[in-house]
Chain A
Amino acid sequence: NAGVMQNPRHLVRRRGQEARLRCSPMKGHSHVYWYRQLPEEGLKFMVYLQKENIIDESGMPKERFSAEFPKEGPSILRIQQVVRGDSAAYFCASSPGEGPQHFGDGTRLSIL
């Protein structure tokens, strides 16, 4: 009865590198959400995906950030050419539809 699985738990990148964060939703869940949490703040919505479709990306920065949820495999949040300001905890959540979203343990991204 695995929950939402995120990996890696911690990711360190140098400025200019790419970061790839993975999220496997709970079994039976086809809705995936990505949130970002800056220190001492609540989570901020980034993107909402269903299988192979982006439903709402209103919270995604216009450049360098992209997300996908392919037919097979985990959802990927990709950050290209990372900058110091990208340092944050990135949480993935999933749901079967409407209702509570179940969160993974997050990926803590640190940019050197």
Chain B
Amino acid sequence: AQTVTQSQPEMSVQEAETVTLSCTYDTSENNYYLFWYKQPPSRQMILVIRQEAYKQQNATENRFSVNFQKAAKSFSLKISDSQLGDTAMYFCVLLPFTGANSKLTFGKGITLSVRP
């Protein structure tokens, strides 16, 4: 079984500052993906960034980067130069590689508010 834990229910950050969202996970699989999805008030689910577990290099996507610590099973998201449009719920998500077990496992999410 897979679990994803996001222990911070909400965070707030000043516009233009940097914020880090924490996530830990557990899986018996050796190969898997990790994602951060964003859900703004419009309720859409938007993929922010992805990381393949076999890659040691941390993924980056413009202002978004991750700190992936495979041994510690930790996968945090750093948002630099926060913008008002970053206000949303953020979900840490785990996906094993195996085709027969392709369901996403979501954390409970963290509500991020960016203050002007």
Contacts and interface: CB of A to CB of B under 8 A. Distances in A.
Interface stretch (A63-71, A73-81, A100-108): A100-108
A98 B97 contact: yes
A91 B109 CA distance: 16
Task: Give the interface size bracket for B toward A.
Answer: 20 to 34
A48 B95 CA distance: 13
19 contacts: A33-B103, A33-B104, A35-B104, A35-B106, A41-B109, A42-B4, A42-B109, A43-B91, A43-B106, A56-B100, A56-B102, A97-B99, A99-B33, A100-B33, A100-B95, A102-B47, A103-B46, A105-B43, A108-B43
Interface of A: 31, 33, 35, 40-45, 48, 55-56, 58-59, 89, 91, 93, 95, 97-103, 105-106, 108
